[in-house]
Each structure stands twice: as structure tokens, then as C-alpha cells.
Amino acid sequence: MTQPRSSAPDADGTTPVRPRPAPVRRRLAFGSVAAVTVAATLAMPVSGAWAQSGPGGGGGYGRAELQRGLDDIVRKDGVVGAEATVVDGGRRTSVRSGSAERGTDRPMPRQGYFRMGSNTKTFVSTVVLQLVAEGRIRLDDTVDRWLPGVVEGNGNDGGRITVRQLLQHTSGLPDYDDDLPLTDEKEFQEHRFDPFEPRDLVGMALRHRPLFEPGKGWGYSNTNYILAGMIIEKVTGRTWSDEVRRRIIEPLGLRHTFSAGTRTGLPRPHAKGYQQFKPGGRLVDSTAVSMTWGGSAGDLVTTSNGLTRFWRALLGGELLAPRQLAQMLDTVPAPDDGSKLVQRMGLGIFWTQLSCGGGYWGHGGTTLGHLNSNGFVDKGRRGVVVMRSTNLASDDRDTRTDRLVDDALCARK
């Protein structure tokens, strides 16, 4: 049965979630690049005083609470380094924990560069919706309208998949990252600098049959956003990264946000990134890596301040006209396996239920060695960004990180 569409919660995230058929699973960016990096996360049920308070209705949450939450992530989860930034109106608080390099006492850099992973998808979706506002593309255009013959084979048919379905992960297309040669430490060391073209990535996905009929379910697939990037190039004559730069990065003054392209390193300052390929396994330095396998699905680099500025601008109406922002925030259920987080999916954006009632907007990201989680309410006026320099393989790798986001948004000074 087709997943029912629903009206989105308001941009302040205060509309309660409608009843859902099952627990949902969030696949943040490239969680299945190594199958072990797929996480299970925990959300509290809405009950009692939490349910009555609503976002921001709890007790105080200042620098000490933020530091304690971040320290817990580092100490108890075995994360090498982490940074968190909370914004509330004009007030900004940032804290750091752990070290910039394993085995040293070198502190985490302030506003260090990191790979944002699948948060890239929100940037790409924003560009597509700007093109919709300009009348250059329609959300109901098929993939074949712009990329004839690119999606075909094994039951995959670009003539039946729309741009909207790409952005909302309702296309049914398989995920290419399941076939990337990066699933264990040996493969990673052999292929970490391999270059990938967008058509190569789509071709990997098309080796498999669809997950479901287009529009008949929900399934997170990075393939959707590789195709979205290809469509942006076809519509504009410029690469997706050029369009992101001129439409988002430059207008917002995001001087420390850029597409990695073929670059394999990070600018200074940055912490080293570490990937754990199996539970209990060693942490592998993954700082230098080609992100061509991510492309328009996840290759952007940024800082906490840069990502915070983007989210505040997006939800505050600086990047999209009201109609297009409403289209972005029009959600469907986003069920997946194993998570207790209650989530819904818009166009390149998730809505996640808060333990204190209501919910927040965001889109986390996972790459080889980096993980970020974020959430914003009140039309972007309040929010939190958490960056970790370590991507763990344990099932509960996200639990404390998600709890920090929830705590920060459910309590305020």
C-alpha cells in the first residue's frame, strides 16, 4: 500500500506525530558502507511531565550540561573527539571533548573542519526546490524526463520515478553503497582513494531489483541523491556542487563549507577521523579518503558554525519561498529496521519526535570517520549540532548522541 502523505508539522516542530505502523530506522548518510556502522538509536516515549512541557519546557541546559553530555559520548562510547554547538536566538554555546588525535592530548580544534555526510542531501534538495520555484523543473517530472535511459534494468525504471520520490526516498531504488568496496578494513585500505563517477554509482545500484514499486514504500537510498545531482547538472548546465556554492554557500557567507570533489584531505584545523569496521575492532585512521563515492549524496565539508548557519537560514525562510519550504516539510512515514526513533521524511529533511513532545527538523550524516547529528526547532532559532570524529560499529553508537540532541532541545536556560 502507498505510504500516506501528511501535512508537515509547522516549522517550529510542535505538531504531534500521527500514529505509525512500526518503529522506524534512521539511515544517516552512508551507514551501510560498512554494514557494522548501521546504528540503533533510542527515543523516549512521550509521557508525563515531558509530554506536557513541549520543546524548551524543561529545566536549564547550559554549558555545564552540554559539556557533561559530550564528555559522556567520548568516555562511554569510546569516541576520540567531539564538538557540540547549541544556539538559542542570539546566544551560542560550543564545547569540545576528547582529543584531535588518538593517543595524544592535542585538543579538539575549535570549529574544525569535518565531513558532513548525508546532511549534503538537504543542500541538494534545497537547490532542486529553488529550481522548482524558478519553473525550470517540476517535482512530478520523471527521472527519464531529464536522464533518459540512465535508470533501467532489473525492474528499475526511471520513467516511473519522479524527482519528488528521489528527494523523499520513496523511489524504491536500491542503495549503491551496499556494493562499494569499502565494507571492511582490508577493502578500505585498498580502495580508499579510488575515484567514482556518478554513473558508476548508479550502475552499482542497478545490479539489484527495486526495493519496492515507486511510491509504494519508503527506503533510504543514496542512489536517489546521486541522480538528483545529475538532474541539477542537466537542468542548469553546471555541476550540483557549483549550484550549491552559488545558491547557498556564497549567499550565506559559508566560507568554511565546500564540496570535497577529488580532494582526499581536510583543511586545517581538523581532527583526525577514525572508522571502526566491526564491533570491538580497532579504530582505523580514515582522515584521508576520496569522497567521490559520496558525491551529491554526501561529500560536503563544513564546520559546526557553518552547518548551524545553514539550518537557521533554511528553516527561517532565507533559502526557499514559503511554497517550496512547505513542500520540503511535507512528510511521509520513514520506517526502517530496529530504531525506536519516531521519524518522518520530507524532501531531504527528517522530522524526529522529541521526548518532551513535538519534534525537531534535521538530517544527520555518517561517513568513514565522521558522524554528525543535528536538530532545530522554532523555525531554526534554536538548535544543536554534534560532530564526532569517530564512527563506531556498535549497535548503540548513536544512543548518547541522540540523547544529547534531545536533552538540548527539551531544556533551556
CATH of the domain at 365: 3.40.710.10
Whole-number pLDDT of residue 169: 98
Residue 282 to residue 273: CA distance in whole angstroms: 13
Confirm whether 21 is domain-assigned.
Answer: no
When mean pLDDT is compared across 184-198, 222-236, 392-406, the lowest value belongs to 392-406
Residue 267 to residue 303: CA distance in whole angstroms: 11
- Quick one: how far is CA 340 from the chain centroid? 18
pLDDT at 8 exceeding the cut of 70: no
When mean pLDDT is compared across 14-23, 154-163, 247-256, 351-360, the lowest value belongs to 14-23
Confirm whether 27 is domain-assigned.
Answer: no
Confirm whether 11 is domain-assigned.
Answer: no
Residue 337 confidence class, pLDDT cut points 50, 70, 90? low
Backbone angles phi, psi at 263, to 5 degrees: -70, 135
Residue 16 confidence class, pLDDT cut points 50, 70, 90? very low
pLDDT at 3 exceeding the cut of 50: no
pLDDT tens digits, residue range 239-262?
Answer: 999 999 999 999 999 999 999 999
Q: Is 197 helix (H, G, I), strand (E, B) or coil?
A: coil
Residue 412 confidence class, pLDDT cut points 50, 70, 90? low
Q: What is the mean pLDDT of the chain?
A: 86
8 A C-beta contact, residue 131 and residue 235:
yes
pLDDT at 272 exceeding the cut of 50: yes
pLDDT at 299 exceeding the cut of 50: yes
Of 341 and 382, more confident: 382
pLDDT at 406 exceeding the cut of 80: yes
Confirm whether 277 is domain-assigned.
Answer: yes
Q: How many domains does the chain have?
A: 1
Look at the block and give the residue holding cell 519534534. 359
pLDDT tens digits, residue range 216-229?
Answer: 999 999 999 999 99
Whole-number pLDDT of residue 411: 83
Residue 394 confidence class, pLDDT cut points 50, 70, 90? confident
Backbone angles phi, psi at 50, to 5 degrees: -60, -45
Whole-number pLDDT of residue 205: 98
Confirm whether 18 is domain-assigned.
Answer: no
Whole-number pLDDT of residue 24: 30
Whole-number pLDDT of residue 19: 30
pLDDT at 32 exceeding the cut of 50: no
pLDDT at 117 exceeding the cut of 90: yes
Confirm whether 4 is domain-assigned.
Answer: no
Residue 244 to residue 355: CA distance in whole angstroms: 34
Whole-number pLDDT of residue 397: 82
Before 269, cis peptide (omega within 30)? Answer: yes
C-alpha cell of residue 184: 571492511
Nearest to 34 by CA among 176, 222, 178, 175: 178
Residue 4 confidence class, pLDDT cut points 50, 70, 90? very low
**66: domain range?**
35-410
Q: Tell how strand 274-276 and strand 283-285 pair up.
A: antiparallel
Nearest to 231 by CA among 117, 112, 139: 139
Whole-number pLDDT of residue 178: 85
Confirm whether 28 is domain-assigned.
Answer: no
Confirm whether 1 is domain-assigned.
Answer: no
